[in-house]
Amino acid sequence: QNPKTSAIVKQLLAEGNAGELQKYFGSRMEFGTAGLRAAMGAGISHMNDLTIIQTTQGFCRYLEKNFSDLKKRGVVIGFDARAHHPSGGSSKRFARLAANTFISQGVPVYLFSDITPTPFVPYTVTHLKLCAGIMVTASHNPKQDNGYKVYWENGAQIISPHDKGISQAIEGNQEPWPQAWDDKLIDGSLLLHDPYATVNKEYFKDIQKQCFHRNINKETNLKFVHTSVHGVGHKFVQLAFKAFDLNPPFAVPEQKDPDPEFPTVKYPNPEEGKGVLTLSFALAEKDGAKIILANDPDADRLAVAEKQESGEWKVFSGNELGALLGWWIFTCWKNHNRDTCAIKDVYMLSSTVSSKILRAIALKEGFHFEETLTGFKWMGNRAKQLMDQGKAVLFAFEEAIGYMCCPAVLDKDGVSAAVITAEMASFLATRNLSLSQQLKAVYDEYGFHITKASYFICHDPKVIQQLFDNLRNFDGKNTYPKSCGRFKVSGIRDLTTGYDSSQPDQKAILPTSKSSQMITFTFANGGVATMRTSGTEPKIKYYSELCAPPGNSDVEQLKKELDELVNALEKHFFQPEKNNLQRKTE
């Protein structure tokens, strides 16, 4: 019933354009553990009013089956600022249609009245003890995309088998229920609640538990620049600084207000590094700021850059910021917990493709470190399990600039990460140390961890399948590579098939998934490299790391060795020319 998408389809029918119609209606968007992520537009392969209604009807039925008290507890729904004028789709409209679906079945809905950061949804699920949460966002994807991200009652993103259960329920509830299209019905409903004011108050109260140096914050002369990259983060980072008694950061004026066109950047993704930060650098130079904090458009990730003595800007990788925040959060914990026995209940987590720096810190300091599969859904769920056993999960991170610094949010949170980074930098400034100097000190103490990650773009799933099949049948059937150029392979873990050469029974300990590709190679020189497909983008990613024990300070030699390993990986395992892969820089 959306006139815009309806007109698009009628036009294609009139033109007899079978090719485009096949694209729109050939296959339904797949509902996975990350929910939905696709372009906005007509047809069942896109995000639009109809597919949102169908998805929410399925989700509603699945929740009814799992929670006898769903009509008492309810769900929360948040949305970002994305909009797509050609199809009439927007995050706010999708959120209202989803709310209407639940309310029509007598389920209370806590619908945010305005845009919010993604972490506010899992925070609300936990804080109000709700059954589930939905966030309508495509995070840092291109402007035409949108997404539908789902949280369970434990405040973490869903993991299997919920994705399959919801997917089946969507299949069984495709015809819109009566009044499904009429989202105006919710406005007068007694089942509609707005958690905006409460959550804004409570969230900033909760993150203050991670504020340890209020006096330093009040006095610091350090200046910060913040960009929300045309997304939702501006207001919330300003409020977080206020909660920590820090002077507000300078906001990049061209990027501080939400704009679904993302006019000043090619990709609204701070992970892409300096290209996204051009305007931030200019403002920092003008205002004399040393540190830049950049959120992605839904404010669940954080990139950080610091001006060096040389006048150059250093953009920290996710692993480097993970090392700094891990060191900082543990140091703050240690200074506030004189009971030496308490450390046996302290945990930190990171994903298997992230740097193992936390493992090195944990080994030396005596707390626990665990690695999980890639993605915060795994870290959030594991953190909740540990917390339910009375453990303290201080920190979790992934190399894709995602950080969980505060146990009140069991997902990555770019708002709390931004203000905690600002407090850490302010504290270090009182010791005449920069973030870069402290990072070197962390590596000096716990061993250098040099990492390098990138990706190739490939739009053809057959090519991707063939590439990974070749790695599994490298020297004849069912044989993995024994070397990569001059680098000898000493171990292989394949989480697609469940094979791990290092285990006595050759079975991987981490859960496996046949639907995504992921192989990790360990090399005789101590290097590790993982190749995997992305769940949300047409990319084959790789992550590599060389770890040296404390005292090995020839960093340049380590970097050279890692560069050579990565070059060999690209040449022999990716074979970009043969497979027609597009490099990141292109």
E strand segments, 256-338:
291-295, 302-307, 313-315
| Identity at 486, one-letter amino acid code | R
Cα–Cα distance for residue pair 351/496, rounded to 1 Å: 16
Cα–Cα distance for residue pair 464/516, rounded to 1 Å: 11
Cα–Cα distance for residue pair 510/455, rounded to 1 Å: 23
Phi-psi region of 148 (alpha: psi -120 to 50; beta: other; left: phi over 0): beta
Cα–Cα distance for residue pair 539/458, rounded to 1 Å: 6
> How many Å is the maximal CA-CA distance in the chain?
75
Half-sphere exposure (Cβ direction) of 43: Cα atoms closer than 13 Å: 22
User: What token pair was written down for 569?
Assistant: 């990986």
Question: If we measure between CA atoms, which residue out of 549, 544, 519 comes closest to residue 532?
Answer: 519
Handedness of CA 66, 69, 71, 77 (dihedral sign): negative
Cα–Cα distance for residue pair 444/550, rounded to 1 Å: 6
Cα–Cα distance for residue pair 447/526, rounded to 1 Å: 13
Cα–Cα distance for residue pair 284/274, rounded to 1 Å: 14
CA distances from 249 to 210, 252, 317, 324, 418 (A): 19, 9, 21, 20, 10
Neighbours of 193 (CB within 10 A): 16
355 in catalytic set: no
Query: Is the CB of residue 455 less than 8 Å from the CB of residue 541?
Result: yes
Neighbours of 514 (CB within 10 A): 9
Element (H, E) at 347: strand 346-351
Contacts with 291 (C-beta within 8 Å, 6 or more apart), sequence order: 222, 223, 224, 225, 284, 304, 305, 306, 307, 421, 422, 425, 435
Q: Which of 45, 139, 355, 426 is catalytic?
A: 139
What burial class does residue 554 get, using C-beta atoms within 10 Å of its C-beta: 0-12 exposed, 13-18 middle, 19+ buried? exposed
Query: What is the set of active-site residues?
Result: 139
